[in-house]
């Protein structure tokens, strides 16, 4: 019963999300990311029935514009996003946090807030994340300008992510976007399944079509369109190739205007604020962990850290995935969904819904903040019920992982020990890293992708192994070689290498 729960237990008491779909009336008064974030924050506080003045901590998930040069905004941005939001909603927080990058950042921030609340260090915490990349790109195409710069002097815990998400060899190989890296993982999974390119595109389409059906019914989806298996599997002008085997309709879409926000506090503070127990959502299990660089993992098609994180979370909840009423698997690319389903022994045919939002390709991929939208949806669904819900997240190249189980009424043995941070941390895989070389005279292809470029020759990239087991990357811009790779997977084939002034190049031997 609610009256029996200890006062220090952290709970989610408010949840909201916001979407703006630019229309034909798009004009010079388009919103900035901070404007859009403030909308979700105001709605979350209203949902909780908590006044902005009660908020003592605001945490913001790092925007893509501040995380990678490829997404830098030409309009500038805030030097202190938590303070920008605080001023819009008329809050005066004591603490302001701006997280590092990665798809796990919302869950990590949420768990950090729970720990601080559980220790009595924070009272009411507001966390949020946002992207307005749709407005940015629409404005650029229309020749419009804006000034999104904001300068604040308020203290900020600014957590710049300093660790690269890819190894030096991966970066030098010609891989630049996440889709390029995940193409290597996807093609290795396809090989393990015995799929040629056409068969695997249909496999991905069968997996992802049910996601689009859920997005089509979601009022907060950026792209609420249901696609058939055929529409997802067919390569055409609207569904153009990006990096083999990916086309546009199976990868995360970042051109969104979306924000989400959560209000967290303790059971005792909720009682003081008059937040009714019907609003309360408990975190009953959580884990996070990190894997090696993709190229250093023995099985590059999957992640041992993912397996350990999801398994630890479910064990902590004394549950299996099938015990969950709702599941949301991070779906940046189909191979990430497949890897998680393999861990949890879940079907991918749509018989068990694997998302509550519609997933990153159809609901939208708001930068690092997607999983906060999944949490908002879970909170709304399980309030006032005996249901449990699972959300997973990953970042990097299937390397950073987090998972969390929520419930409205936790069992007594599911009350988390918030003073013991170590129970949430999963140790990194203890197997040795596979050695990487900057160059080699030849080897056997382990996996591959072809990066499609509209204005330049396509770039074929392979990860290969020497006879001694060391690995190296090589690439080719020869259209005959890239066509041969797409016609028949080169995995298992021998390559010969040579150097030019940019890459270690290869040709298919035999």
**DSSP for 297-328?**
SSSTTS-HHHHHHHHHHHHHTT--GGG-SEEE
**Which phi and psi angles does 98 have, rounded to 5°?**
-125, 110
Residue 208 belongs to some domain of the structure: no
Which segments of 235-299 are extended strands (E)? Answer: 241-243, 246-247, 257-266, 282-290
On whether the CB atoms of residues 424 and 309 are closer than 8 A, the answer is no
Residue 13 belongs to some domain of the structure: yes
**Same domain membership, residue 464 and residue 405:** no
**Same domain membership, residue 405 and residue 260:** yes
Helix (H) or strand (E) holding 126: strand 124-132
For the record, the structure tokens of 66 come out as: 């501040």
**Environment class of 168 (CB within 10 Å of its CB; exposed 0-12, middle 13-18, buried 19+):** exposed
On whether the CB atoms of residues 111 and 284 are closer than 8 A, the answer is no
For the record, the structure tokens of 385 come out as: 């019920």
How far the first Cα of the chain sits from its last, in Å, is 71
Residue 357, CA distances (Å) to 13, 180, 276 in order: 20, 25, 26
Domain tally, the chain: 2
**Same domain membership, residue 457 and residue 387:** no
The whole-angstrom separation of Cα 408 and Cα 385 is: 6
Residue 379 belongs to some domain of the structure: yes
Residue 428 belongs to some domain of the structure: no
**Same domain membership, residue 455 and residue 399:** no
**Same domain membership, residue 396 and residue 306:** yes
Which segments of 201-240 are extended strands (E)? Answer: none
Kindly report the pTM of this predicted structure.
0.96
Q: pLDDT per residue over 416-461, tens digit each?
A: 888 777 888 888 778 788 999 999 999 999 999 999 987 777 999 9
What is the model's pLDDT at position 162? 66
pLDDT < 50 regions, the chain: none
**Same domain membership, residue 27 and residue 141:** yes
| CATH label of the domain that carries residue 491 | 2.40.50.840
The residue range of the domain holding 137 is: 2-164+254-409
3-state DSSP assignment of residue 98: strand
What is the model's pLDDT at position 1? 57
Beta bridge partners of 292: none
**Same domain membership, residue 275 and residue 137:** yes
Residue 371 belongs to some domain of the structure: yes
| CATH label of the domain that carries residue 393 | 3.40.47.10
What is the model's pLDDT at position 121? 95
Q: From the CB of residue 165, how many other CB atoms can be counted at a distance below 10 Å? A: 19
On whether the CB atoms of residues 363 and 222 are closer than 8 A, the answer is yes
**Same domain membership, residue 135 and residue 18:** yes
**Same domain membership, residue 121 and residue 49:** yes
Domain boundary among 409, 430, 455: 409
Which residues 6+ apart lie within 8 Å of 453 measured at CB?
459
Q: From the CB of residue 134, how many other CB atoms can be counted at a distance below 10 Å? A: 24
């Amino acid at each position: 019963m609610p009256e029996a729960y200890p006062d220090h237990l952290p709970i989610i008491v408010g949840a909201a999300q916001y979407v703006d779909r630019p229309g034909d009336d798009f004009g010079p008064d388009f919103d900035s990311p901070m404007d859009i974030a403030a909308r979700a924050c105001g709605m979350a506080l209203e949902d909780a029935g908590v006044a902005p003045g009660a908020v003592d901590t605001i945490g913001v998930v790092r925007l893509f514009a501040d995380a990678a040069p490829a997404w830098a905004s030409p309009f500038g941005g805030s030097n202190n996003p938590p303070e920008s939001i605080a001023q819009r909603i008329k809050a005066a927080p004591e603490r302001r946090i701006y997280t590092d990058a990665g798809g796990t950042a919302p869950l990590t921030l949420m768990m950090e807030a729970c720990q601080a609340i559980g220790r009595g260090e924070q009272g009411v915490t507001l966390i949020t994340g946002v992207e307005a990349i749709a407005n940015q790109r629409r404005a650029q195409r229309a020749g419009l300008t804006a000034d999104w710069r904001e300068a604040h002097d308020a203290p900020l815990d600014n957590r710049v992510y300093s660790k690269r998400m890819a190894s030096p060899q991966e970066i030098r190989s010609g891989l630049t976007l996440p889709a390029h890296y995940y193409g290597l993982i996807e093609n290795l999974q396809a090989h393990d399944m015995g799929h040629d390119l056409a068969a695997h595109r249909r496999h991905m389409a069968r997996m992802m079509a049910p996601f689009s059906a859920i997005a089509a019914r979601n009022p907060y989806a950026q792209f609420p369109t249901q696609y058939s298996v055929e529409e997802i599997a067919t390569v055409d002008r609207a569904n153009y190739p990006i990096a083999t085997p990916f086309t546009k309709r199976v990868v995360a879409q970042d051109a969104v205007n979306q924000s989400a926000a959560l209000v967290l506090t303790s059971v005792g503070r909720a009682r003081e604020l008059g937040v009714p127990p019907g609003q309360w959502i408990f975190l009953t299990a959580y884990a996070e962990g990190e894997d090696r660089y993709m190229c250093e993992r023995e099985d590059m098609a999957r992640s041992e850290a993912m397996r350990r994180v999801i398994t630890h979370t479910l064990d902590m909840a004394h549950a299996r995935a099938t015990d969950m009423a709702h599941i949301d698997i991070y779906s940046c690319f189909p191979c990430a969904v497949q890897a998680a389903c393999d861990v949890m022994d879940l079907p991918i045919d749509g018989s068990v819904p694997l998302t509550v939002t519609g997933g990153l390709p159809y609901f939208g991929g708001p930068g690092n903040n997607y999983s906060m939208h999944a949490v908002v949806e879970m909170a709304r669904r399980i309030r006032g019920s005996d249901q449990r819900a699972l959300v997973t997240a990953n970042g990097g190249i299937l390397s950073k992982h987090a998972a969390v189980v929520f419930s409205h009424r936790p069992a007594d043995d599911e009350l988390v020990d918030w003073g013991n941070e170590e129970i949430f941390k999963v140790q990194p895989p203890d197997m040795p890293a596979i050695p990487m070389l900057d160059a080699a005279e030849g080897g056997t292809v382990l996996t591959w992708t072809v990066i499609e470029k509209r204005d330049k020759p396509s770039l074929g990239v392979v990860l290969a192994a020497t006879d001694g087991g060391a690995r190296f990357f090589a690439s080719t811009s020869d259209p005959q070689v890239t066509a041969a790779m797409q016609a028949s997977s080169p995995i298992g084939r021998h390559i010969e290498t040579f150097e030019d002034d940019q890459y270690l190049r290869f040709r298919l031997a035999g």
